[in-house]
Structure 1
Amino acid sequence: MVGIDIVQISRISGLREKFGEKFLRRVFCDDEIALIKSDETLAGFFAAKEAFSKALGTGIGSECGFLDIKIAKTPKGAPFFEISSNLKTKFNIKNSALSISHDGNFAIAAVILEIGDI
C-alpha cells in the first residue's frame, strides 16, 4: 500500500506558532520533537504521518492516531517508522518504508506499507 502527502511548510510552522507546545504534543512524541530542528523537518514529519495514514486507507482519526506512528532516524539520518504494536496487529503491518523531502515552500513524504493477510 502506498501513501503520499505534501504540505506547505509555512502552514505547518504556522500551527506551531499559533498553538505552540500543544500542537507539537498532539502530533509528536518527545523523541520526535527532539529530532525537529527546522520548520522543514517539522513539515516533513507531519507529511510522513499523514502519508502513513493514507497508505492504511484510514486517514488520521480513531483507527490511526498521530501518536500511533513514531518517526525515528538511522545513524546515517534516514527516517523510518516505529509503529505501535496495536496498529501493527490491527492492520497486519509487516514492513514499512519512508522517504521525506522538502524544497522551496513544500515538504513531501512517500510511504510504502507491506500488509500481510488480514
Structure 2
Amino acid sequence: MNGIGIDLVAIGDVEYSLAEFGDRFLRRVFTGAERRECAGDARRLAARLAAKEAAIKALRPGPEVPTPPREIEVVTTPYGPELRLHGGLAARARARGWREPRVSLSHTDCHAVAVVTVEVS
C-alpha cells in the first residue's frame, strides 16, 4: 500500500503570520534548522508548511494522534529535499510501516505546493 498527500499554501498567509506573530509562529511550526535555512523567506517557509501538511495527509495518523508541525522536518540535501519525522509522529510512522518518503516542493510568487509520497508496508 502507498500513501500520498498534497497541500497548497498561500504565501500571503505565511507573510501575514510572520508579520502578526513573528517568532512565535516560526517556533511553533518550524524546527530550528528550518528557521535557519529559510531565514524568514516566506516562499520557502510556505513550501515547508505545505510539506508538513502533505506528510500528515500521506501518513493518515488518525484524529487521536497529535501532529505537531515541528515533528515533521524538511531537510535540504544535495539530492533535494527530504522529510524527517521526530517524536510521537515518528513512532506512529514506524508502527504504520512508513518507509521511503519522498517530497517535492515548488512555489510561485503567490503559492507554494508540496507533494509527499510514502510506501506503507
Taking structure 2 as the reference length, the TM-score comes to: 0.85
**What count of residue pairs does the alignment treat as equivalent?**
115
Instruction: State the shift of 1:60 in Å.
Output: 8.9
Instruction: State the shift of 1:70 in Å.
Output: 1.0
The percent of aligned pairs where both chains have the same amino acid is: 31
Ranges in structure 2 where 5+ consecutive residues have no aligned partner: none
- Counterpart CA distance in 2 for 1:105 and 1:60 is 31
Instruction: State the shift of 1:90 in Å.
Output: 3.2
Which amino acid counterpart does residue 71 of structure 2 have in structure 1? D
Q: Would you say the 8 A contact 1:101–1:108 is kept in 2?
A: yes
Instruction: State the shift of 1:63 in Å.
Output: 3.2
Ranges in structure 1 where 5+ consecutive residues have no aligned partner: none
Match of 2:68 in 1: 65
The structure 1 segments of at least 4 consecutive aligned residues displaced by more than 6 Å after TM superposition are: none
- Counterpart CA distance in 2 for 1:26 and 1:109 is 20
> Out of 74, 88, 91, which is 1:86 matched to?
91
Q: Would you say the 8 A contact 1:53–1:60 is kept in 2?
A: no
Instruction: State the shift of 1:89 in Å.
Output: 2.0
| CA RMSD, Structure 1 to Structure 2 (Å) | 1.9
- SS of equivalent to 2:67: coil
Deviations 1:44-79 (A, max 9, x none): 011110111111224898432212211101135x11
- SS of equivalent to 1:63: coil
- SS of equivalent to 1:64: coil
